[in-house]
Structure 1
Amino acid sequence: MFTGIIEGTVNLKKISKNKNNFSYIFSCKLPVKKKDIGTSISINGVCLTLVKFSKKKRNNDLYFDISPETLKITNLINSKVGDFFNIEKSLKFGDEIAGHFVQGHVDDIGKIKSFIKIKNSWQIWIQIKSKFKKFLITKGSVSVNGISLTINNIKNNMFRVDIIPHTFNKTNLNKLKKNSTVNIEYDLLIKFLKQNVK
């Protein structure tokens, strides 16, 4: 479980294939310890298991095994060496809940339809699959590449989020543009209500 409050970005260093799975290696400034091996870490909103790490002079290399199914349902399939990804360690007992509950289970891949700077903020319209529109609620929460954001407007099968400078500078949103793909996870509570309340 995560909160959608991004701790920083990591750089994709290497992709390798081992039988049916893939290994992704990310270069990261985030401190990690031996006890972190086997724990869940969110990479672009995808819950992955840290299988090992190696310490370098300035950064740590983080190793994750990724299945073909995970690649199929997330934007990791479009990733290239050198790309930047958002990272967040899993929630621990006593941590502050500053965003919203994010599972790291991606529901959809959205496409950025417009990316406009307005004064000191950015307005982003994201297109999703029509079948997921029922999970959109104005002023509700949504996870975009693992970032906890507020839905400020909805039109057809698109929604708008507004990005403040802190979020823009701390996440990989500053690397994206029109037609970029993003991982979407809809609010857990909204999904529960829509699926269980008649």
Structure 2
Amino acid sequence: MFTGIVTDMGEIVSLSEIPAGMRTRIRTSYDTQTFDIGASISCSGVCHTVTAKANDASGNWFEVESAAETLALTTVSDWREGQRLNLERSLTLGAELGGHLVLGHVDGIARVVKREDHPDSVYFQFEAPEETAPFIARKGSVALDGTSLTVNEVDGCLFSVFLIPHTLEVTTWSDRHVGDGINLEVDMMARYAARLAEFGKNG
């Protein structure tokens, strides 16, 4: 489990096909001696398991493996060497919950349909997959590429957010433009509320 607060921007060093899907090596500023093989790290919103790691002269790095389902349902299939990724290590008990509870399980791919740069913020508008739109509420939380953000406006499948300069500096959002696919995870509370409402209606 994560909070949607990005703590490092990693860089993809290499990509290789494996029988299960794809292996990715990611350069990081994390001290890889502080987490174990098998640890969970959110990579631009997708929970991955560390399968190899090292601190060496060329820089600290870790590897993850993405299964075929992950490649089919997320933007991982579009990753390329040199690309930056939003990284977050898993939440520990007692840690500050600065964003909202995020599972790292992507619900769908949202598309950037508008970007407007202002002196003190950047406005992004997205189109969500139709099946996820009911779970996105004005002033509610969403995780986009692993970043916990507050929804500004909602209109059908369209929703928007404002990003402050600090967020642009410490995440990959400065790289995002119209047409880009974004890993979308809706607020887990919205999912549970919808499921309870469904049972109430059927009951």
Amino acid in structure 1 at the alignment position of 2:71:
L
Instruction: Give the deviation of 1:18 after TM superposition.
Output: 1.9
Runs of 4+ in 1 over 3 A off after TM superposition: none
**Is the 1:142–1:151 Cα contact (8 Å) retained in structure 2?**
yes
Say whether 1:104 aligns with 2:100: no
TM alignment of 1:128-143, pairs within 5 A: 128-143=128-143
1:32-71 matches, within 5 Å, as 32-33=32-33, 35-57=35-57, 59-71=59-71
Question: Per the alignment, in what secondary structure is the counterpart of residue 88 of structure 1?
Answer: strand
Deviations 1:151-194 (A, max 9, x none): 01012211101101111110000111111111000000011101
In the alignment, structure 1 segments of 5+ residues that lack a partner are none
Which residue is equivalent to 2:4? 4
Question: Partner residue of 2:178?
Answer: 178
CA displacement at 1:34 relative to structure 2 = 5.9
Q: CA deviation at 1:53?
A: 0.6
Work out the CA distance in 1 between the residues paired with 2:84 and 2:35.
Answer: 25
Matches within 5 A, 1:119-158: 119-158=119-158
Residue of structure 2 equivalent to 1:77 = 77
- AA aligned to 1:47 is C
Q: SS state of the match for residue 191, structure 2?
A: helix
1:65 Cα deviation after fit: 1.2
Change (3 A) 1:35 1:98: closer
- What is the deviation of 1:57? 2.6
- Do the aligned partners of 1:153 and 1:160 also contact (CA within 8 Å) in 2? yes
The SS at the match of 1:36 is coil
**Unpaired segments of 5 or more residues in structure 2?**
none
SS in 2 for 1:65: strand
Q: SS state of the match for residue 56, structure 1?
A: coil
The more displaced of 112-121 and 178-187 is: 112-121
Q: Which residue does 2:160 correspond to in 1?
A: 160
How far residue 35 of structure 1 moved from its aligned partner, in angstroms, is: 4.0
| Matched-pair identity in % | 29
* Comparing 55-64 and 38-47, the one that deviates more: 55-64
TM-score, normalising length: structure 1: 0.96
Preserved contact between residue 38 and residue 51 of structure 1 (Cα < 8 Å): yes
Against the structure 1 CA distance between its residues 167 and 35, is the aligned structure 2 distance closer, same or farther, given a 3 Å change threshold? closer
Amino acid at match of 2:14: K
Tell me how far apart the structure 2 counterparts of residues 158 and 150 of structure 1 sit (CA, whole Å): 14
- Residues 29, 60 of structure 1: 8 Å contact kept: yes
Contact 2:33 2:55 in 1 (8 A): no
Contact preservation (8 Å) 1:102, 1:187? yes
Corresponding residue pairs, total: 198
Tell me if the contact between 2:21 and 2:71 (Cα under 8 Å) persists in the aligned partners: no
The residue type paired with residue 123 of structure 2 is Q
Deviation at 1:59, TM superposition (A): 2.3
- Pair 1:20–1:117, CA change in 2 (3 A): same
